[in-house]
Amino acid sequence: MIQDILKYQYLQYALITSVLVSLVAGLIGVIIVEKKQVMLTGGIAHTSYGGVGLGYLLGFEPLLGAFIFAVTAALGSNLIKNRMTGVSDVIIAIFWSLGMSLGILFIGLIPGYPPDVTSYLFGNILSVTTLNLVLMAIITLIVLIVIVVFFQDWRAHLFDPEFTTIRGKRTKLMENILLFLIAITVVALIRVVGIILVIALLSIPAATASLLTRKLHLRMILAVLFGLMFTIFGLFISAYTMLSSGAVIVIFGFAVYIITYLGTRYLIRVKKVEAV
Protein backbone atom coordinates (compact mmCIF):
# COMPACT_ATOMS: atom_id res chain seq x y z
CA MET A 1 0.00 0.00 0.00
CA ILE A 2 2.86 2.39 0.80
CA GLN A 3 4.33 1.80 -2.66
CA ASP A 4 0.92 2.53 -4.22
CA ILE A 5 0.64 5.80 -2.28
CA LEU A 6 4.08 6.88 -3.48
CA LYS A 7 3.19 5.89 -7.05
CA TYR A 8 -0.36 7.18 -7.56
CA GLN A 9 -1.32 10.81 -7.12
CA TYR A 10 -4.97 10.07 -6.32
CA LEU A 11 -3.88 7.97 -3.33
CA GLN A 12 -1.56 10.76 -2.16
CA TYR A 13 -4.45 13.20 -2.38
CA ALA A 14 -6.69 10.76 -0.51
CA LEU A 15 -4.16 10.39 2.32
CA ILE A 16 -3.69 14.16 2.67
CA THR A 17 -7.47 14.54 2.61
CA SER A 18 -7.78 12.02 5.44
CA VAL A 19 -5.53 14.15 7.63
CA LEU A 20 -7.28 17.42 6.78
CA VAL A 21 -10.84 16.21 7.29
CA SER A 22 -9.88 14.43 10.52
CA LEU A 23 -8.61 17.70 11.91
CA VAL A 24 -11.69 19.75 11.07
CA ALA A 25 -14.17 16.98 11.92
CA GLY A 26 -12.51 16.27 15.25
CA LEU A 27 -12.28 19.89 16.38
CA ILE A 28 -15.71 21.04 15.22
CA GLY A 29 -17.39 17.71 15.99
CA VAL A 30 -16.63 17.99 19.71
CA ILE A 31 -18.24 21.44 19.82
CA ILE A 32 -21.27 20.29 17.81
CA VAL A 33 -21.86 17.27 20.06
CA GLU A 34 -21.44 19.33 23.23
CA LYS A 35 -23.80 22.04 21.95
CA LYS A 36 -26.31 19.41 20.73
CA GLN A 37 -26.32 20.85 17.21
CA VAL A 38 -25.97 17.60 15.29
CA MET A 39 -29.34 17.94 13.54
CA LEU A 40 -28.63 21.56 12.64
CA THR A 41 -25.42 20.35 11.04
CA GLY A 42 -27.42 17.79 9.06
CA GLY A 43 -29.72 20.53 7.83
CA ILE A 44 -26.78 22.65 6.69
CA ALA A 45 -25.21 19.64 4.94
CA HIS A 46 -28.35 18.77 3.00
CA THR A 47 -28.96 22.40 2.09
CA SER A 48 -25.51 22.47 0.45
CA TYR A 49 -26.79 20.03 -2.17
CA GLY A 50 -28.55 22.97 -3.80
CA GLY A 51 -25.14 24.58 -4.28
CA VAL A 52 -23.75 21.40 -5.81
CA GLY A 53 -26.58 21.38 -8.34
CA LEU A 54 -26.16 25.09 -9.07
CA GLY A 55 -22.44 24.59 -9.67
CA TYR A 56 -23.10 21.89 -12.22
CA LEU A 57 -25.83 23.95 -13.90
CA LEU A 58 -23.76 27.13 -14.24
CA GLY A 59 -20.45 25.39 -14.88
CA PHE A 60 -18.40 26.26 -11.80
CA GLU A 61 -16.88 24.11 -9.04
CA PRO A 62 -19.78 22.39 -7.19
CA LEU A 63 -17.97 22.69 -3.84
CA LEU A 64 -17.98 26.48 -4.20
CA GLY A 65 -21.73 26.32 -4.69
CA ALA A 66 -22.00 24.04 -1.65
CA PHE A 67 -20.01 26.59 0.36
CA ILE A 68 -22.35 29.43 -0.60
CA PHE A 69 -25.48 27.45 0.24
CA ALA A 70 -24.07 26.02 3.47
CA VAL A 71 -22.98 29.40 4.85
CA THR A 72 -26.28 31.00 3.82
CA ALA A 73 -28.26 28.22 5.51
CA ALA A 74 -26.17 28.40 8.70
CA LEU A 75 -26.30 32.15 9.19
CA GLY A 76 -29.84 32.48 7.80
CA SER A 77 -31.29 29.84 10.11
CA ASN A 78 -29.61 31.47 13.11
CA LEU A 79 -30.99 34.90 12.15
CA ILE A 80 -34.53 33.55 11.85
CA LYS A 81 -34.20 31.57 15.09
CA ASN A 82 -33.13 34.68 17.02
CA ARG A 83 -36.17 36.58 15.76
CA MET A 84 -38.69 33.75 16.12
CA THR A 85 -38.38 31.61 19.22
CA GLY A 86 -39.39 27.96 19.32
CA VAL A 87 -39.11 27.27 15.59
CA SER A 88 -35.53 25.98 15.30
CA ASP A 89 -36.56 22.45 14.26
CA VAL A 90 -38.96 23.84 11.67
CA ILE A 91 -36.26 26.12 10.23
CA ILE A 92 -33.83 23.22 9.95
CA ALA A 93 -36.47 21.13 8.15
CA ILE A 94 -37.27 23.96 5.75
CA PHE A 95 -33.66 24.62 4.77
CA TRP A 96 -33.00 20.86 4.60
CA SER A 97 -35.85 20.17 2.17
CA LEU A 98 -35.34 23.38 0.17
CA GLY A 99 -31.65 22.69 -0.44
CA MET A 100 -32.24 19.13 -1.58
CA SER A 101 -35.13 20.20 -3.81
CA LEU A 102 -33.11 22.98 -5.44
CA GLY A 103 -30.24 20.57 -6.05
CA ILE A 104 -32.55 18.11 -7.79
CA LEU A 105 -34.13 20.95 -9.79
CA PHE A 106 -30.82 22.44 -10.93
CA ILE A 107 -29.44 19.07 -11.97
CA GLY A 108 -32.67 18.32 -13.84
CA LEU A 109 -32.27 21.58 -15.80
CA ILE A 110 -28.83 20.58 -17.12
CA PRO A 111 -29.13 19.80 -20.86
CA GLY A 112 -28.18 16.33 -22.00
CA TYR A 113 -27.23 13.57 -19.62
CA PRO A 114 -27.25 14.65 -15.95
CA PRO A 115 -23.89 14.44 -14.13
CA ASP A 116 -23.14 11.67 -11.64
CA VAL A 117 -23.51 13.27 -8.21
CA THR A 118 -23.11 10.04 -6.26
CA SER A 119 -19.74 11.08 -4.82
CA TYR A 120 -21.29 14.28 -3.43
CA LEU A 121 -24.11 12.33 -1.78
CA PHE A 122 -22.17 9.36 -0.43
CA GLY A 123 -18.56 10.48 -0.67
CA ASN A 124 -15.53 9.08 -2.48
CA ILE A 125 -12.17 9.83 -0.91
CA LEU A 126 -10.43 8.51 -4.05
CA SER A 127 -12.01 11.17 -6.29
CA VAL A 128 -10.53 14.26 -4.63
CA THR A 129 -9.16 16.76 -7.16
CA THR A 130 -6.41 19.34 -6.79
CA LEU A 131 -8.98 22.14 -6.37
CA ASN A 132 -10.86 20.09 -3.77
CA LEU A 133 -7.62 19.58 -1.86
CA VAL A 134 -6.74 23.28 -1.95
CA LEU A 135 -10.22 24.21 -0.68
CA MET A 136 -9.98 21.67 2.14
CA ALA A 137 -6.52 22.93 3.12
CA ILE A 138 -7.82 26.51 3.33
CA ILE A 139 -10.85 25.42 5.35
CA THR A 140 -8.66 23.39 7.72
CA LEU A 141 -6.34 26.35 8.28
CA ILE A 142 -9.30 28.66 9.03
CA VAL A 143 -10.80 26.18 11.52
CA LEU A 144 -7.46 25.62 13.28
CA ILE A 145 -6.77 29.36 13.64
CA VAL A 146 -10.24 30.15 14.98
CA ILE A 147 -10.24 27.23 17.44
CA VAL A 148 -6.79 28.11 18.79
CA VAL A 149 -7.42 31.86 19.04
CA PHE A 150 -10.81 31.49 20.74
CA PHE A 151 -10.14 28.26 22.69
CA GLN A 152 -10.77 29.74 26.14
CA ASP A 153 -13.91 31.46 24.87
CA TRP A 154 -15.14 28.18 23.37
CA ARG A 155 -14.61 26.37 26.66
CA ALA A 156 -16.54 29.00 28.60
CA HIS A 157 -19.24 29.21 25.94
CA LEU A 158 -19.75 25.44 25.88
CA PHE A 159 -19.74 24.64 29.57
CA ASP A 160 -21.10 27.81 31.15
CA PRO A 161 -22.89 30.01 28.56
CA GLU A 162 -24.89 31.90 31.20
CA PHE A 163 -21.74 32.95 33.05
CA THR A 164 -20.20 33.92 29.72
CA THR A 165 -23.18 36.20 29.00
CA ILE A 166 -22.99 37.76 32.46
CA ARG A 167 -19.30 38.53 31.94
CA GLY A 168 -20.24 40.42 28.79
CA LYS A 169 -18.81 37.95 26.31
CA ARG A 170 -20.26 38.23 22.81
CA THR A 171 -22.23 34.99 22.80
CA LYS A 172 -24.13 35.82 19.59
CA LEU A 173 -20.84 36.45 17.82
CA MET A 174 -19.53 33.12 19.07
CA GLU A 175 -22.69 31.40 17.81
CA ASN A 176 -22.30 32.95 14.35
CA ILE A 177 -18.62 31.99 14.23
CA LEU A 178 -19.53 28.43 15.20
CA LEU A 179 -22.21 28.22 12.51
CA PHE A 180 -19.78 29.53 9.90
CA LEU A 181 -17.22 26.93 10.97
CA ILE A 182 -19.86 24.20 10.78
CA ALA A 183 -20.79 25.30 7.27
CA ILE A 184 -17.24 25.27 5.93
CA THR A 185 -16.51 21.99 7.72
CA VAL A 186 -19.49 20.42 5.98
CA VAL A 187 -18.02 21.51 2.64
CA ALA A 188 -14.66 19.99 3.56
CA LEU A 189 -16.25 16.63 4.41
CA ILE A 190 -18.57 16.29 1.39
CA ARG A 191 -15.96 14.70 -0.90
CA VAL A 192 -14.99 12.15 1.77
CA VAL A 193 -18.27 10.88 3.24
CA GLY A 194 -20.85 12.77 1.20
CA ILE A 195 -23.74 15.02 2.16
CA ILE A 196 -25.83 12.18 3.56
CA LEU A 197 -23.09 10.85 5.87
CA VAL A 198 -21.53 14.15 7.01
CA ILE A 199 -23.33 13.98 10.36
CA ALA A 200 -21.69 10.65 11.11
CA LEU A 201 -18.10 11.81 10.63
CA LEU A 202 -18.76 14.92 12.71
CA SER A 203 -20.48 13.07 15.56
CA ILE A 204 -18.98 9.56 15.85
CA PRO A 205 -15.31 10.51 16.52
CA ALA A 206 -16.42 13.23 18.96
CA ALA A 207 -18.91 10.94 20.70
CA THR A 208 -16.29 8.19 21.01
CA ALA A 209 -13.79 10.66 22.50
CA SER A 210 -16.40 11.86 25.01
CA LEU A 211 -16.60 8.32 26.41
CA LEU A 212 -12.95 8.51 27.41
CA THR A 213 -12.52 12.03 28.81
CA ARG A 214 -14.46 15.17 29.76
CA LYS A 215 -11.58 17.61 29.20
CA LEU A 216 -12.23 19.68 26.10
CA HIS A 217 -8.70 19.73 24.70
CA LEU A 218 -8.25 15.98 25.21
CA ARG A 219 -11.61 15.27 23.60
CA MET A 220 -10.57 17.30 20.56
CA ILE A 221 -7.24 15.47 20.28
CA LEU A 222 -8.89 12.05 20.64
CA ALA A 223 -11.64 12.99 18.16
CA VAL A 224 -9.00 13.96 15.59
CA LEU A 225 -7.16 10.66 16.14
CA PHE A 226 -10.36 8.63 15.88
CA GLY A 227 -11.34 10.50 12.72
CA LEU A 228 -7.91 9.83 11.22
CA MET A 229 -8.22 6.13 12.05
CA PHE A 230 -11.69 5.92 10.49
CA THR A 231 -10.79 7.76 7.28
CA ILE A 232 -7.52 5.91 6.67
CA PHE A 233 -9.31 2.61 7.23
CA GLY A 234 -11.96 3.70 4.73
CA LEU A 235 -9.24 4.73 2.28
CA PHE A 236 -7.52 1.32 2.45
CA ILE A 237 -10.75 -0.65 2.08
CA SER A 238 -12.08 1.57 -0.71
CA ALA A 239 -8.81 1.44 -2.66
CA TYR A 240 -8.73 -2.36 -2.70
CA THR A 241 -12.43 -3.25 -2.91
CA MET A 242 -13.95 -0.20 -4.66
CA LEU A 243 -16.63 -0.06 -1.95
CA SER A 244 -18.01 3.37 -1.02
CA SER A 245 -15.39 5.01 1.19
CA GLY A 246 -18.01 7.06 3.00
CA ALA A 247 -20.05 4.02 3.97
CA VAL A 248 -16.96 2.09 5.09
CA ILE A 249 -15.75 5.00 7.22
CA VAL A 250 -19.11 5.38 8.96
CA ILE A 251 -19.66 1.65 9.59
CA PHE A 252 -16.15 1.21 10.97
CA GLY A 253 -16.57 4.31 13.13
CA PHE A 254 -19.86 3.00 14.50
CA ALA A 255 -18.23 -0.34 15.37
CA VAL A 256 -15.40 1.42 17.23
CA TYR A 257 -17.90 3.57 19.12
CA ILE A 258 -19.90 0.51 20.26
CA ILE A 259 -16.74 -1.33 21.34
CA THR A 260 -15.51 1.74 23.24
CA TYR A 261 -18.90 2.23 24.88
CA LEU A 262 -19.13 -1.38 26.03
CA GLY A 263 -15.52 -1.30 27.21
CA THR A 264 -16.00 1.83 29.30
CA ARG A 265 -19.26 0.48 30.81
CA TYR A 266 -17.48 -2.73 31.75
CA LEU A 267 -14.61 -0.86 33.42
CA ILE A 268 -17.07 1.28 35.39
CA ARG A 269 -18.83 -1.88 36.68
CA VAL A 270 -15.50 -3.45 37.64
CA LYS A 271 -14.50 -0.34 39.61
CA LYS A 272 -17.85 -0.31 41.42
CA VAL A 273 -17.43 -3.97 42.40
CA GLU A 274 -13.87 -3.34 43.61
CA ALA A 275 -15.04 -0.33 45.62
CA VAL A 276 -17.60 -2.50 47.42
2-275: CATH architecture: Orthogonal Bundle (1.10)
Amino acid at 215: K
Amino acid at 270: V
What's the pLDDT score for residue 267? 83
Residue 228's pLDDT band (boundaries 50, 70, 90)? very high
Domain boundaries, the chain: 2-275
Residue 215's pLDDT band (boundaries 50, 70, 90)? confident
Kindly tell me the burial class for residue 156, based on how many C-beta atoms sit within 10 Å of its own C-beta (0-12, 13-18, 19 or more).
Answer: middle
Report how far residue 185's alpha carbon sits from residue 189's, in angstroms, rounded to the nearest whole number: 6
Residue 2's pLDDT band (boundaries 50, 70, 90)? low
Provide the whole-model pTM.
0.84
Question: What is the CB-side half-sphere exposure of residue 179 using CA atoms within 13 A?
Answer: 23
Angle 45-51-52 from CA coordinates, rounded to 5°: 90
